[in-house]
């Protein structure tokens, strides 16, 4: 399986990092080795002093598809969830400065937190609220209605480049409020009123 991540999909997050608003979705990939095994703590990697959390709505692809029209995209997923796209912001800044790919900053072991999935029928996907709590304080408070590109548009766009396969995950971008993690932080992800993950930083 593969993990396809969308960058810069919420205007306020683009502003907080002083990035340019893209004309089309920004895409990058994480390998399956990036997924943090269930119940493991997240270890801050030794090559970074500035690892940020980015809470994101996840979509799990349920069948093979290529060149999917947005109006048919809803047939390609049954479940949505919540996760974290951990980002070594200092490493990413160097990559950006040099015009290099982001993988060292984004795709390292443990950089993908994949929480519990829920049937998409439980939610209004156009108005889905989600939060990240750090040590019991809400640090990110998002809603899919603020996405620049909606889930079905993302699936359509991504499938022009990559064949989607059953089990692939799409990380749909983070809202504002990203920040640094430190040792012993506890991160809890909430989607509507349900807990999707809880992890400890080491
Ligand atoms: Mg992200």
| % of the chain surpassing 70 pLDDT | 100
CATH of the domain at 39: 3.90.850.10
For the segment 94-111, what is each residue's pLDDT rounded down to a tens digit?
Answer: 999 999 999 999 999 999
Segment among 11-15, 184-188, 194-198 with least mean pLDDT? 11-15
pLDDT computed for residue 18 by the predictor: 84
Report yes or no on whether pTM surpasses 0.95. yes
Q: How far is ligand 1, taken at its centre, from the CA of residue 198, in Å? A: 18
Cα 163 to averaged position of ligand 1 atoms, centre (Å): 21
CA of 37 to the centre of ligand 1 (A): 19
- Give the domain extent around 114: 3-200
pLDDT digits (tens, 9 = 90+) for 112-162: 999 999 999 999 999 999 999 999 999 999 999 999 999 999 999 999 999
Please give the pLDDT value at position 195: 98
Distance 66 CA to ligand 1 centre (A): 23
**Structural domains of the chain, count:** 1
Quote the ligand 1 centre to 57 CA distance (angstroms). 10
Q: Which two tokens stand for residue 98?
A: 């040099």
Query: Is residue 200 scored above 90 in pLDDT?
Result: yes
Tokens linked to 45: 């990697």
The counts of H helices and E strands in the chain are: 4, 13
Residue 13 Cα to ligand 1 midpoint, Å, equals 10
Q: Return d(Cα 172, Cα 67) in angstroms, integer.
A: 18
């Amino acid at each position: 399986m593969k993990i396809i991540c969308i960058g810069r999909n919420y205007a306020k997050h683009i502003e907080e990092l002083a990035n340019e608003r893209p004309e089309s979705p920004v895409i990058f990939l994480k390998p399956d080795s990036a997924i943090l095994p269930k119940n493991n703590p997240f270890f801050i990697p030794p090559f970074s002093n500035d690892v940020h959390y980015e809470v994101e709505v996840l979509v799990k692809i349920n069948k093979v598809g290529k060149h999917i029209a947005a109006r048919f995209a809803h047939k390609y997923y049954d479940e949505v969830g919540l996760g974290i796209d951990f980002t070594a912001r200092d490493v990413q800044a160097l990559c950006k400065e040099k015009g290099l790919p982001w993988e060292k900053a984004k795709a390292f072991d443990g950089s993908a937190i994949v929480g519990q999935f829920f049937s998409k029928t439980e939610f209004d996907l156009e108005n889905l609220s989600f939060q990240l709590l750090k040590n019991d304080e809400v640090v990110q408070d998002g809603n899919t209605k603020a996405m620049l590109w909606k889930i079905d548009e993302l699936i359509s766009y991504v499938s022009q480049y990559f064949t989607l396969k059953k089990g692939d995950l799409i990380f749909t971008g983070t809202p504002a409020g990203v920040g640094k993690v430190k040792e012993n932080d506890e991160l809890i992800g909430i989607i509507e009123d349900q807990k999707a993950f809880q992890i400890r930083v080491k």
